[in-house]
Structure 1
Amino acid sequence: MRKKGFRTGFEFSPFEEKLKSPFDKLFDIFKELITHTSGDLDEALDWLGQLDKEYKLTDEYYTLDDFVEDLKRKGFIQDRIAPNGNKEQAITAKTERAIRKNALDQIFGKLKKKGSGSHKTRSSGIGDEHTGDLRSFQFGDGLEQISMTESLKNAQINHGFREFKLTEDDLVVEDTHHKAQMSTVLMIDISHSMILYGEDRITPAKKVAMALAELITTRYPKDTLDILVFGNDAWTVSIKDLPYLQVGPYHTNTVAGLQLAMDLLRRKRNTNKQIFMITDGKPSCLRLSDGTYYKNSNGLDPYIVDQCYSAAAYARKLHIPITTFMIAKDPYLQSFIEKFTQSNRGKAFYTGLQGLGEMIFHDYENNRKKRIK
């Protein structure tokens, strides 16, 4: 079944059915559908009903009505008052969290596991992760770092057993690694081209954003992630809003997105900062000083392009690398991205939709290693 360019991407087998309960099996599909429909519960359930007719997902013992009742009972959907005053059903924050975790499992679960928790610097010093190494006390070390057992042993060796005496020279501390922070801004293009030509590009972008948010909040809790979308203008969105992102009738104001990203990163106190930008189209819009818009969708407009290069160069001065994930392979667009990347000394990837999430996660972890050392 195809609807609005949607493909299920699921394979059903007796083996999977034995492992999962009827609810869990349907819930996996439901999480995919609710992402594709940008949080529209009615449309997601309609698609689920059509998939049920085609693939026989339910039987007389567990029906779609039973599934909907379980969604209510488990707190995944609830009644609410719509803006028009009517009563309707909608997904809850619990469902939003489940969608983020599902995206993380799909994308990051394919990658090799690389340790646990926050990334350490090579430098030792005041920190909060013990290395097991011991060294002499230095000015500035915290009292909580002092190993009393080893320090008392030193005092006994240095001063004998008859008189208890503990001096600064006897003190030994357990070394720690300082766990640095990385601040990331993820820019998502929501211009109209993200759904042109019958290809859904916004859903993979949303999945990447949700998975990245889940990764950072669970694996790197000291890191920060800001997410913004850009069309004619740019604005921030919260993590909980990600499932509901939709493409609008917008041009692509890349400069507005970059300016907002740099404004967000200026407020961060840590020094490790980066921008990820997911886009599939050329820059085609600028907002002028008088508040009007300059738009040109025909080719690469030199005025718009030069403003993009300037923004990239300014980010470089702020020591903010930009990694661009280009969901297009047009030669003239690649040429623009190459020059844009040179202006920033960042990185660029030209990718289809399939490998987008995996590439971003590889790059996120690689960037942490390079920037935090």
Structure 2
Amino acid sequence: MTAIPEGYSYGPWHEGPDPLAPPIDLRDALDEIGRDVMGGSSPRSALEELLRRGTRTTAGLDELTRRVWQRRSEIQRRHRLDGTLQEIRRLLDEGLAAERRELFPDPSDEARFREAELDALPPGTAAAVRELADYQWRSETGRENYEQIRDLLGREMLDARFEGMKDALQSTTSEDVERVNEMLSDLNSLLNAYARGADDIEDRFAEFMRRHGQFFPENPRNVEELIDALASRAAAAQRMLNSMSEQQRAELMELAQQAFGDPRLAQQLSTLDSQLRALRPGEDWTSSARFRGQDPLGLGEGAQAMADLAELDALAEQLAQSYPGARLEDIDLEALQRQLGEDAGVDARRLSELERELRRQGLFERAPDGSLRLSPKALRRLGETALADVVNSLRGKTGERQQESAGAAGEPTGASRPWQFGDTEPWEVSRTVRNSVLRTASSGGGRVRLDVSDVEVIETEHRTRAAVALCVDTSWSMVSEGRWLPMKRTALALHQLISTRFRNDALQVITFGRYATAVELDELVGLEGAWEQGTNAHHALLLAGRHLRRHPDAQPVVLMVTDGEPTAHLEPDGEAVFDYPPQPRTLAKTVSEVDRLAKLGASVTVFRLGDDPRLEAFVDLIARRSGGRVVAPDLDGLGAAVVSDYLRTRRR
């Protein structure tokens, strides 16, 4: 067993992001953004929605916000703020009972007088504690409990304004009380000098920290940081008091005079609160919260609970990202981890990294009008996903296969396959030699010799150039019937196939509603559905014919996706005429354009979405007149149907 070298230690990683954590998966994130963009959202809205929703492995902003509000509700539902008053009452009742037990056996008049004093005590806790300030206790328990009350009051009041002070003063001596009073006096002097604008404030602060730094474990670096820390805690203590009943506040104010048996503490703290309130008026000094639980909190714990509520409110605002210029870097990760645990901090950090990487890797760009849009790189990624979905849906289908052969007309596909008897394709030499080496090594080594089983040949295919016009219906019925997103994914898949596999082909995407328009891919992806009457197939086929004529040497391919019969046509003056039911003139103009395409050698394949009988009859007419066909896929199979028909028509 190898010993671990001296000086090395192994443990959890605490110095920032985990270096072994998996990289941010931008592919899934971009797919989700693309889906929203194609559904009609702007790229910015789609990005914001992704961050709100989260990913498969990372909780989103909405989930983190829900947990913040749940944590806030738990604090208020579980606790109550009268813990200090309850504890003082318990100590007082216990001390009085012990004192009466001590006095009862004594038959003297003095004992009866003392019992009368105890019986005459006011019912209120604070008034009773005040009345007993000069009482000479006979019971040891009574005397100790009364001292505990004074110590508890002092420690709780300090803990409400100086976090951790209660634990630091567990066994308080008179010297400790003097040190605390001296610190408060010097602190008030320092803040007073700061408020006056004293020139030597830095020297005063350094001297103050030298003398009293042990009271401030947060180790402030200057007066500003000291005031910020003190004001935040004091404001939380004030909000706690605001949340109590009027009677509870009055009792605490009266009890404060008995803290440590020295009224100076209450006076110094009152002065400190006044100065902090004047120096930091922007802190929340006036709000309150409703606590309805059964777990009592002391003054220090109550102030911490109010500080937690304020921190949770700030986190909720940061997670909402609803203020101008909001960014995920604004989220206080340390506060989030304090309140919700380390996992929440990890999720927020990964969301921030995801947003930063999406922008850094150029997946978004600025349009000329200043808006955010998907970059060509992002569009290629969306196309890859759409095409992969199409390929997966085509797997297992039979009846069609790609034509592969060798010869001068064959072009390499980039793939290879094992040689079969009768193959005349050229050898893929590097893979053939590699296969021979691996086979020899697996059989025990020796000289490398080629075997027929090692041979792989280069795949080639006959390729012709095609001019493809993809006409997609963008009328309102495509949006209302849920066909908008499948239509866009179909165009993406076809564009990706042509741009990567058939680069010589010329694709033109044509949208048609009341009018038809030739669009670029990014325009189609960002196209929003609009309420517009009219399905102008005539105009779309007219633009398709112009595209085919620009490429006379290419094989013409026309594909049309629609869910309605033609209800609009284009007049010679460029005006679109709409009517429903369709006018005979509209149908005639559309059919005449189909005939012109047929003369160019183009058959029109129509992908019919919907079961309207009039639509069925018309698309059947188009198919017969152009020598094309009609395909009626379901929405999930639209992309596969279009890509499959493109390949079929192209090979034909």
Partner residue of 2:362 out of 66, 75, 91: 75
Secondary structure of residue in 1 paired with 2:535: coil
Partner residue of 1:311 out of 593, 606, 609: 593
Structure 1 CA distance, aligned partners of 2:27 and 2:463?
38
Partner residue of 1:193 out of 448, 456, 477: 477
| Structure (1/2) with the larger strand percentage | 1
Deviation at 1:189, TM superposition (A): 1.2
Structure 1 CA distance, aligned partners of 2:483 and 2:528?
11
Q: Does residue 35 of structure 2 align to residue 32 of structure 1?
A: yes
Unaligned runs of 5+ in 2: 1-20, 61-343, 414-422, 427-459
Unaligned runs of 5+ in 1: 1-17, 135-175
Decide whether aligned partners of structure 1 residues 90 and 240 sit closer, same or farther in structure 2, where only a CA change above 3 A counts: closer
Structure 1 CA distance, aligned partners of 2:511 and 2:643?
19
Deviation at 1:124, TM superposition (A): 6.4
Partner of 1:223 in structure 2?
505
Secondary structure of residue in 1 paired with 2:635: coil
Q: Does residue 537 of structure 2 align to residue 277 of structure 1?
A: no
Bigger radius of gyration among the two: 2
Partner of 2:384 in structure 1?
101
Structure 1 CA distance, aligned partners of 2:486 and 2:461?
36
Partner residue of 2:541 out of 248, 258, 265: 258
Whether the 8 Å CA contact 2:31–2:382 is kept in 1: the answer is: no
Deviation at 1:322, TM superposition (A): 0.4
Decide whether aligned partners of structure 1 residues 226 and 291 sit closer, same or farther in structure 2, where only a CA change above 3 A counts: closer
Decide whether aligned partners of structure 1 residues 269 and 314 sit closer, same or farther in structure 2, where only a CA change above 3 A counts: closer
Partner of 2:521 in structure 1?
239
Whether the 8 Å CA contact 1:125–1:178 is kept in 2: the answer is: no
Decide whether aligned partners of structure 1 residues 24 and 293 sit closer, same or farther in structure 2, where only a CA change above 3 A counts: closer
Decide whether aligned partners of structure 1 residues 60 and 23 sit closer, same or farther in structure 2, where only a CA change above 3 A counts: farther
Structure 2 CA distance, aligned partners of 1:61 and 1:55?
11
Structure 2 CA distance, aligned partners of 1:81 and 1:317?
41
Q: Does residue 378 of structure 2 align to residue 62 of structure 1?
A: no
Count of aligned positions: 300
Alignment root-mean-square deviation, CA: 3.3
Deviation at 1:355, TM superposition (A): 1.0
One-letter amino acid matched to 1:67: L
Percent of aligned positions with the same letter in both sequences? Answer: 25
Decide whether aligned partners of structure 1 residues 29 and 346 sit closer, same or farther in structure 2, where only a CA change above 3 A counts: same
| 1:1-373 paired onto structure 2 within 5 Å | 21=24, 23-37=26-40, 40-52=42-54, 57-58=59-60, 59-63=344-348, 64-78=351-365, 80=366, 83=369, 89-112=372-395, 132=424, 179-196=463-480, 199-248=481-530, 249-297=532-580, 299-370=581-652
Higher relative contact order (Cα pairs below 8 Å, separated by 6+ residues): 1
One-letter amino acid matched to 2:354: F
Decide whether aligned partners of structure 1 residues 93 and 123 sit closer, same or farther in structure 2, where only a CA change above 3 A counts: closer
Structure 2 CA distance, aligned partners of 1:254 and 1:305?
9
Whether the 8 Å CA contact 2:468–2:557 is kept in 1: the answer is: yes
Deviation at 1:24, TM superposition (A): 4.5
Decide whether aligned partners of structure 1 residues 177 and 361 sit closer, same or farther in structure 2, where only a CA change above 3 A counts: closer
TM-score by length of 1: 0.70
Whether the 8 Å CA contact 2:619–2:630 is kept in 1: the answer is: yes
Structure 2 CA distance, aligned partners of 1:109 and 1:219?
17
Partner of 2:282 in structure 1?
none
Structure 1 CA distance, aligned partners of 2:425 and 2:376?
44
Deviation at 1:126, TM superposition (A): 5.9
Bigger mean CA deviation after superposition, 98-107 or 285-294: 285-294
Decide whether aligned partners of structure 1 residues 202 and 81 sit closer, same or farther in structure 2, where only a CA change above 3 A counts: closer
Deviation at 1:295, TM superposition (A): 1.2
Deviation at 1:342, TM superposition (A): 1.3
Structure 2 CA distance, aligned partners of 1:293 and 1:359?
31
Secondary structure of residue in 2 paired with 1:61: helix
One-letter amino acid matched to 2:651: K
Secondary structure of residue in 1 paired with 2:542: helix
Deviation at 1:316, TM superposition (A): 1.4
Structure 2 CA distance, aligned partners of 1:29 and 1:70?
15
